[in-house]
Amino acid sequence: MVHGCIHFVHKDRMLHAIVFDMDGVIIDSHAAHRRAWSKFLHNQGRQVSDGELDYIFDGHKRTDILQHFLGQLSDKQLISYGKQKDELFRQASPSIKPVPGVLKFLRHLKRERISTGVATSASQVRTKATLDGMALSEYFDAIVTGNDILLGKPDPSIYRLCCTRLGIVPKHALAIEDAVSGIQAARSAGLHCIGMISHESSEKLRAAGAEQLIHSFQGLSLDTLERLVSQTPGLGVVQQTESPS
């Protein structure tokens, strides 16, 4: 991972960088997060419904999630509770896998000499452990986490910082997000954004500002992405038939 680097880009390309959210986009982690948060909150005497737990998937920083469910907390409590939740997530981590097709797609982007970044609300420690553990870190030129910003998504600062570190003008970057707040953050920062359908409905992703929608990275190519963002927004779910060269 290199900060503040400027990469060679094809001048005829619309997109010079692709920035990924992590949970639900790079890694299939939502089920593990739901189990970990449910057990953690149960241990704190909080019983929450599945509907209430959906809050954890909307791109919020861990501190915001803790205070959403437990109220105002001291810095000491935030650190202690955060460690407890992360340990529960770590116990579930063997079940977490990369999203289908993402590794092949990342290799394709590297061959095309397109800059890549991660913009995740997860902590720096968890992000590094997750990406290193899956041998994915080497594919990203910049990684921005919840520790690097004051305000979490939908505030645009996380995407602005990632573009700065990549040395890319936001209008030439594309974010891939699966959460409403993440899409709002990317669009507010000036990036194009494609929504990945996972836990949110296609209607909510489009309403948040997703220009197009995909189900996975399988069969996805840079040419396909550029064609998508050049089309009229909201045309529906993309039929992915091309294979990266």
Contact between 194 and 176 under an 8 Å Cβ cutoff? The reply is yes
According to the model, what pLDDT value does residue 244 have? 52
User: Which of 32-46, 80-94, 135-149: highest mean pLDDT?
Assistant: 135-149
Structure letter (DSSP) for residue 23: B
Closest Cα partner for 211 from 168, 173, 241?
Answer: 173
Q: Which two three-digit tokens encode residue 138?
A: 């080497």
Q: Which of 10 and 157 is assigned the larger pLDDT? A: 157
According to the model, what pLDDT value does residue 104 have? 96
pLDDT in tens, 61-96: 888 899 999 999 999 999 999 889 888 888 877 778
According to the model, what pLDDT value does residue 3 have? 47
Angle at 213 between CA 236 and CA 11, to 5 degrees: 110
What are all long-range contacts of 238-244, with beta carbons under 8 Å and residues at least 24 apart?
238/212, 238/213, 238/214, 240/214, 240/215, 240/216, 243/219, 244/104, 244/105, 244/107, 244/108, 244/219, 244/220
Q: What percent of the chain has pLDDT over 90?
A: 62
Q: How far apart are CA 203 and CA 236, in angstroms?
A: 9
Place of tokens 């570190």: 165
According to the model, what pLDDT value does residue 11 have? 56
Contact between 194 and 210 under an 8 Å Cβ cutoff? The reply is yes
User: Which of 59-68, 86-95, 180-189, 216-225: highest mean pLDDT?
Assistant: 180-189
According to the model, what pLDDT value does residue 10 have? 55
According to the model, what pLDDT value does residue 58 have? 77
- In the chain, the domains with their CATH numbers are 17-28+98-229 (3.40.50.1000), 30-95 (1.10.150.240)
Q: How far apart are CA 146 and CA 107, in angstroms?
A: 26
Task: Give Cα 89 distance to the centre of its chain.
Answer: 17
